[in-house]
Amino acid sequence: MAVDRVGNKPCGGRYGDIVESIGNTPLIELPRLSPKPGVRIWAKLESRNPTGSVKDRVARALIEDAEEKGAIMPGQTILEPTSGNTGISLAMICRRRGYPLKVVMPENVTAERTQLLRMYGAEIVYSEGSLGSNGAVEKALEMAEADSSYYMPYQYGNVANPNAHYNGTAIEILEELDEVSAFVAAEPMQGEPVQGLRSLDDGFIPPIIDLSILDRKIFVTNRDAIIWTRKLLEEESVFAGVSSGAIARVAVRIAGELDEGNVVFIVADDGWKYLSSGIYTLSVDEIENLDATVWW
Ligand SMILES: *Cc1c(COP(=O)(O)O)cnc(C)c1O
């Protein structure tokens, strides 16, 4: 009977290859973060995907969409701007499916990202660090313009990206919860770079964002993002990336405004890729004084 149990449970099952095993991530309650008994906070642990981030879903959707349209053939080079996670996910899938991958990434990202991308066989083109990931987007667009042999999935403008969540992540959440009172994401304050998040006021609004479906926006500082990343670890033993700390902070605030119900957010990645940035060891004073212009 053990076999049946595994076969039917999230995160279990049997798959033809690593790409097929993407998704079916666990939904974890965070009882110690909840401000009142009737309000339950849930984290969808997307860090439990094959490369450790939610971007595995997006990368698979982008590649399969291109394959279905006949836009790519094995051997063709895929080009994509990224600050890391999407690139790592694409690299895993492209290696498996036989596409060389070139990623454009800001030169000042953490060393772990460069290492992981190289391990999965991607070629890295660095963009100017001070321009952050918007600089990587611009550079990749220029390269694609100049050389038509590249196929650029373009995560920021490709509807296959949100559809991966609409048809995957969202359905998995709704299979576990009868109702969701609030689904929470977060936006960093402008000029306050939070690794993994992006301010829409920094001059680039991805074409796939539909702002009309947001009920409201709550901004988060980098300091709060780091403090809450550590709270997730210290109070709930969830080792998460910095964007998850930012979102957890907002989720707890929203939970405090409700009388009952379920508040859900996504843990987009785990903490491994952020270790070298020191966020788990900085003192509160050091966090206060972090140089906000450094984009890790
Ligand atoms: C996925 C994502 C990006 C881009 O991801 P990379 O891993 O940097 O390629 C940027 N901003 C947000 C909010 C995202 O979710």
Domains and CATH numbers, the chain: 18-52+161-288 (3.40.50.1100), 55-146 (3.40.50.1100)
Catalytic residues: 55, 243
Is 207 within 8 Å of 156 (Cβ atoms)?
yes
Q: What is the longest distance spanned by two Cα atoms in the chain?
A: 58
Q: Is the CB of 55 under 6 A from ligand 1?
A: yes
pTM above 0.85, yes or no: yes
Asked whether residue 118 carries a pLDDT value surpassing 90, the answer given is yes
In our burial notation (b when 16+ CB lie closer than 10 A, e otherwise), range 263-273 reads: bbbbbbbbbeb
Can you say whether the dihedral through the CA atoms of 139, 217, 163, 267 is positive or negative? positive
Band of the pLDDT at 279, cuts 50, 70, 90? Answer: confident
The minimum-distance atom of ligand 1 relative to the CA of 80 is 9
Residue in 193, 116, 208, 115 with CA at minimum distance from that of residue 156: 208
* CA 3 to ligand 1 centroid distance, Å: 37
Is 164 within 8 Å of 57 (Cβ atoms)?
yes
How big is the CA angle at 17 (ends 29 and 273), to the nearest 5 degrees? 50
Written as one string, the DSSP assignment of 106-167 is ETTS-HHHHHHHHHTT-EEEEE-GGGHHHHHHHHHHHHHHH-TT-B---TTT-THHHHHIII
For the chain, give the mean pLDDT: 91
Band of the pLDDT at 293, cuts 50, 70, 90? Answer: very low
* Average pLDDT rounded to a whole number, residues 157-186: 97
Predicted confidence at residue 139, as pLDDT, reads 98
Residue 39's beta-bridge partner residues?
Answer: 261
* CA 74 to ligand 1 centroid distance, Å: 26
Mutate to test the pocket of ligand 1, among 49, 88, 155 (most ligand atoms within 8 A of CB): 155
In our burial notation (b when 16+ CB lie closer than 10 A, e otherwise), range 208-244 reads: eeeeeeeeeeebbebbbbbbbbbbbeeebebbbbbbb
Q: Say how far apart CA 155 and CA 168 lie, in whole Å.
A: 17
Band of the pLDDT at 273, cuts 50, 70, 90? Answer: confident
Predicted confidence at residue 73, as pLDDT, reads 96
Question: Could you give the 3-state DSSP secondary structure of residue 275?
Answer: helix
Nearest CA to ligand 1 atom 9: 82
Q: Is the CB of 197 under 6 A from ligand 1?
A: yes
Count Cβ atoms within 10 A of the Cβ of residue 51 and give its class: 0-12 exposed, 13-18 middle, 19 or more buried.
buried
The residue whose two tokens read 């890295």 is 124
Count Cβ atoms within 10 A of the Cβ of residue 180 and give its class: 0-12 exposed, 13-18 middle, 19 or more buried.
middle
Predicted confidence at residue 288, as pLDDT, reads 74
